[in-house]
A and B are shown apart, each in its own frame.
Chain A
Amino acid sequence: MSRMDDTDPDAPGLASVPSPEGDERDLSKLLRLVAVGDQRAFELVYQQLARPAYGVIRRVLRDPAQSEEVTQEVLLEVWRTATRFDPAAGSAATWVLTIAHRRAIDRVRSEAAAAGREQKTAWDGSDSGDEVADLVAAMLDRERVQGCVGQLTDVQRESITLAYYGGYTYRQVSALVGVTLAAIKSRIRDGLLRLRDCLEVS
């Protein structure tokens, strides 16, 4: 049985810690190794996820120095809490990038709360025009997502972009776009349903 050869490498390496390199792309396995304190595995996780984490945090926060700081906090949180990662709840990349987006949002909202009225003027539109459009354009460069995002209606795309990359709450999106809360809710949900089917995520 040829398969037996695969599992029978007589590898002296088995005597040491299981090597992560063989499963370098399998984040779920890497996180399990991270959970038992394997720093090498963590570096491989870093290699795969630091860019999207930093990228999405930076999209939300804009400020490079702040983005770097939050990215560092997020990655350290991944290290600290890898023991709690539950693969039943979603993929490893999603676990990490959900934390990343969430921490960026936390930063935006705590600053918004501190900034008070300044933030109100920002919602009045000064922040919503070309800059957001530029961000959308930059985001659309990525091929696979591009095709799918391109299939959304304009209003779906706008709502999802403002919410996810813009870091706005759906109330704020509703205020920016000038439609009802119910409409924003369904635009976002319908848009995500389409993206989900298009991207073929489960």
Chain B
Amino acid sequence: MPLSRRDLHALTGVYALDALEDGAEYRRFTRHLRRCTSCAEEVRGFREVATALAFAASAEPPQELRERVMAAVGRTRQLPPEVTAQRRFRIWLPDIHLGAWLPRLATATACIAAAVVLGIALLSTRQQLNSVRAQSQQIAAVLAAPDVKTVTGPVTTGGEATVLLSAVKRELVVSTNGLAALPAGKAYELWLIGPSSAGKAAIRRAGLLPPAVAGLTAPVLASGLVAGDKLGVTVEPAGGSNQPTTTPILLLSLPAKV
């Protein structure tokens, strides 16, 4: 008996509670879910309800369970992430679209990989592509550095910056998400701010952030990192300034031992 569309829609509840048994109906519904965004949204909400029901049923597991699980964790290899560029691109865009689900801390690597893909996708001329490739290789080298570290910090005007850095290579890669859009003629500029000596901090230019696409900026590589550096971000005229001219909206300590 074929199900009407309306019948299919009505299955969101039983599906979310795992009360739809495997079979033709289950397969039809899961196919339908892929096309029906309102159904998928409804299922998502119902699963959150089910989560509340699970919490309401909380019970204390035996203490040995914790020890057994932690012991098993120690000897269990994790699945690799799904890493094809295309897939990541697809996953991260809805993240950004949904605002509330913005990745807040680091899958910094993923964030930057997505940004690399974005950067490449946005550029058309061969020259630009070549320069991105060269930069991407340098970025990849930072990501692959054995001492790579991740730091994330909130930008005071909204959004956050993620920094991957290698002390050995003295390089860092900066990517952001969710930063406020700037008026024409303005850009976000990055600064490396060294420890102050004689009351004056040594401030070096570290590049301009490219315009954001879907809230993400393509990664910017900066070199010449020294111990005690902080990363600063200010809003400057589009071409950048020699020294910051506005109050920093981010001042992030970088791991001390560079």
Contact = CB atoms under 8 A, between A and B. Distances in A.
Interface of A: 1, 3-4, 6-12, 14-15, 18, 23, 26, 28-29, 32-33, 35, 37, 39, 42-43, 46, 50-56, 58-59, 68, 71-72, 75-76, 79-84, 86-91, 93-94, 97-98, 100-102, 105, 109, 139, 141-142, 144-146, 148, 160, 163-165, 167-171, 173, 182, 184-186, 188-192, 195-196, 199, 201-202
A91 B100 CA distance: 11
B19 A188 contact: yes
A11 B253 contact: yes
Interface residues of B, number: 76
A59 B18 CA distance: 14
Interface of B: 7, 10-14, 16-22, 44-62, 65-66, 68-70, 72-74, 76-82, 91, 94-95, 98, 100-101, 103-107, 149-154, 156, 230, 247-248, 250-257
A139 to B, nearest CB: 5
A142 B55 contact: yes
A163 B50 CA distance: 11
A182 B10 contact: yes
A199 B52 contact: yes
Nearest to A79: B73
A151 B53 CA distance: 14
Contacts of A184: 14
Contact of B50 (A37, A75, A164): A164
5 contacts: A6-B154, A39-B73, A84-B79, A88-B91, A142-B57
B84 to A, nearest CB: 13
Given A4-B248, A170-B20, A192-B46, A18 B105 contact: yes
